[in-house]
């Protein structure tokens, strides 16, 4: 077993999910359902299946395209998303008025 790969994957996903809308939805369901164990089981199963889907898609993409292309596509996608978020935030920031 590749402990380094498992550890880095765990840490990456764990940190990415903190404060994510999935965690917020799980907290809301856990607090309102009165059955936190069932919410835990449901959310754990959903995250496992979503992760499995992501791994399968990643494996398929890796067999179709060179890793450098996938890294470039991911980087460009993150840049586009970042610029879009900054653009939206810029329009939503309050404007200062001079006295």
Residue 99 lies in a domain: no
Global pTM value: 0.64
Q: What is the pLDDT of residues 55-87, one digit of tens each?
A: 999 889 888 988 899 889 989 999 999 988 888
95 pLDDT more than 60? no
Residue 98 lies in a domain: no
Residue 35 lies in a domain: yes
Residue 65 lies in a domain: yes
Residue 75 lies in a domain: yes
Residues 6+ apart with CB under 8 A from 43: 22, 26, 29
In this predicted structure, what is the pLDDT of residue 78? Answer: 92
Residues 6+ apart with CB under 8 A from 93: none
Residue 66 lies in a domain: yes
Residues 6+ apart with CB under 8 A from 26: 39, 43
Q: How many domains, in total, are found in the chain?
A: 1
Residue 84 lies in a domain: yes
Range of the domain at 55: 3-92
Q: What is the pLDDT of residues 1-39, one digit of tens each?
A: 899 999 999 998 888 888 888 889 999 999 999 999 999
Residue 70 lies in a domain: yes
């Amino acid at each position: 077993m590749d402990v380094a790969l498992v550890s880095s994957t765990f840490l990456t996903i764990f940190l990415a999910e903190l404060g994510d809308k999935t965690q917020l939805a799980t907290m809301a369901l856990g607090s309102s359902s009165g059955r936190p164990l069932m919410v835990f089981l449901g959310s754990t199963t959903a995250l496992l299946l979503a992760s499995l889907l992501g791994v399968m898609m990643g494996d398929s993409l890796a067999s179709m395209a060179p890793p450098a292309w996938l890294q470039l596509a991911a980087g460009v996608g993150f840049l586009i998303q970042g610029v879009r978020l900054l653009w939206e935030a810029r329009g939503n920031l309050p404007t200062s008025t001079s006295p």
